[in-house]
């Protein structure tokens, strides 16, 4: 057996982490022959709850779990890690605007960005804590880790979109492929039904209901998080955790030539996006640590309008945190 892979999870006593940690420890992400060392980061008031999570991890007697480190110090949490899931952040409080949330969470990602320099040479970072695109931008900007090692999560939006298209078309979800979520994990994201395929055919031809695709489909995906909160009385956790794991699995594996996955990565200007923004793109991975944006996709005028709106939103978020960027 090779040495354990060291992975950090922040917000480790929270509800998303609770659905992630046991699966990571079971080998569901890095394989059944790779030992894992978990390095769990929390804030001091949550350390008691985190101890309880560690008791449960121990009680599972996972053969692949070599050690669990628990800390409130990001430098300890990220020390020697090859992957860092940045899940922890402050929740949106009553009456808070999105810009308030951005400002409240920004400083967390300045400190954590700095501490990421303690990671292993192959460290890769994915951000779940909202607003995840802009938090990722802040962490990237405050770290010496190369920009192409950072990403933020669009995968839950991709999975939601595939599920909803499959349900509308009356087909198994596995038949819905090539689902791109452009831009921001926010209610301005653009789930791209024009380039999605159902059983290899354009989704719009199979569903044949442009009004639904342009209307209810997009708004349901954009507002799905709020709908889950309304129904469950708590925000998405198991589905978010599943997406956070799939995001990493996709970046670790070779993407099939006829498909892609959605992730927010640092733009090099692809599709006219401001270089440096953490923008949701269709992505392919080479399975060796490299990934690239799928090029050459076309968009209707309708799609371009949505794309431009979410691009503007991310520019505005960048302006709100400009004092935190290096």
Give catalytic residue positions: 185
CA atoms of 153 and 133, how far apart (whole Å): 8
Least separation in angstroms between CB 179 and ligand NAX? 15
Distant-in-sequence, close-in-space partners of 323: CB < 8 Å, separation ≥ 6: none
Cis peptide before 241 (omega within 30 of 0): no
Asked if residue 242 binds ligand NAX (CB under 6 A), the reply is: no
**Distance of closest approach, residue 280 Cβ to ligand NAX, in angstroms:** 10
CB of 210 to ligand NAX, least distance (A): 27
CA separation, residue 182 to residues 140, 185, 290 (Å): 20, 9, 20
What part of residues 112-151 is at the interface with ligand NAX (CB under 6 A)? 128-130, 132
Among 8, 40, 87, 321, binds ligand NAX (CB under 6 A): 87
305: part of which helix (H) or strand (E)? helix 301-320
Indicate the SS3 state at residue 172: coil
Rg (CA), the chain: 19
| Interactions with ligand NAX, residue window 187-206 (CB under 6 A) | none
Pinpoint the alpha helices (H) of 180-300: 203-207, 210-212, 218-222, 224-232, 238-252
Burial of residue 155 (CB within 10 Å: 0-12, 13-18, 19+) is buried
The contact mask relative to ligand NAX for 1-20 (x = CB under 6 A, - = no) is ---------xx-xxxxx---
Distance in angstroms (rounded) separating the CA atoms of residues 41 and 81 = 12
Of positions 103, 147, 235, 292, contacts ligand NAX by CB under 6 A: 235
71 near ligand NAX, rule: CB under 6 A: no
245 binds ligand NAX per the rule CB under 6 A: no
Cβ of residue 276: shortest distance to ligand NAX, in angstroms? Answer: 20
- Closest separation in Å from C-beta 316 to ligand NAX: 18
State the number of binding residues for ligand NAX (CB under 6 A).
Answer: 29
Site residues (CB under 6 A) for ligand NAX, limited to 26-65 = 41-43, 46
57 neighbors 28 (Cβ within 8 angstroms): no
Q: Decide: is 240 part of the binding site for ligand NAX (CB under 6 A).
A: yes
| Identified binder of ligand NAX from the candidate list 153, 164, 196, 324, rule CB under 6 A | 153
The counts of H helices and E strands in the chain are 12, 14
Provide the binding-site residues for ligand NAX, judged by CB under 6 A. Answer: 10-11, 13-17, 41-43, 46, 87-91, 108, 128-130, 132, 153, 156, 185, 225, 235-237, 240
């Amino acid at each position: 057996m090779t040495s354990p892979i060291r992975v950090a999870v922040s917000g480790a006593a929270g509800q998303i982490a609770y659905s992630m940690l046991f699966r990571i420890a079971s080998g569901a992400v890095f394989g059944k022959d790779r030992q894992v060392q978990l390095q769990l980061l929390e804030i001091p008031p949550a350390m008691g709850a985190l101890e309880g999570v560690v008791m449960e991890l121990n009680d599972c007697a996972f053969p692949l779990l070599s050690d669990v480190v628990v800390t409130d110090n990001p430098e300890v949490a990220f020390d020697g890690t090859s992957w860092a899931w940045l899940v922890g952040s402050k929740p949106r409080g009553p009456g808070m605007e999105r810009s308030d949330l951005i400002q409240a969470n920004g400083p967390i990602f300045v400190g954590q960005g700095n501490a990421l320099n303690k990671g292993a040479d192959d460290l890769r970072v994915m951000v779940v804590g909202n607003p995840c695109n802009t938090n990722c931008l802040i962490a990237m900007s405050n770290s010496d880790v190369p920009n192409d090692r950072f990403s933020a999560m669009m995968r839950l939006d991709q999975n939601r979109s595939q599920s909803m298209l499959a349900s509308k078309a009356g087909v198994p979800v596995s038949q819905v492929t090539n689902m791109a979520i452009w831009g921001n994990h926010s209610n301005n994201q653009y789930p791209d039904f024009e380039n999605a395929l159902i059983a290899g055919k354009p989704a719009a031809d199979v569903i044949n209901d442009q009004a639904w695709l342009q209307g209810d489909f997009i708004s349901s995906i954009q507002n799905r998080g709020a709908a889950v909160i309304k129904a469950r009385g708590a925000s998405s956790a198991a589905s978010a955790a599943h997406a956070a794991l799939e995001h990493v699995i996709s970046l670790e594996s070779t993407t099939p030539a006829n498909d892609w996955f959605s992730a927010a990565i640092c733009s090099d200007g692809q599709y006219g996006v401001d270089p440096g923004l953490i923008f949701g793109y269709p992505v392919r991975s080479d399975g060796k640590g490299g990934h690239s944006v799928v090029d050459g996709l076309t968009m209707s005028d309708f799609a371009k309008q949505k794309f431009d709106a979410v691009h503007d939103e991310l520019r505005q978020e960048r302006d709100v945190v400009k004092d935190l960027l290096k």
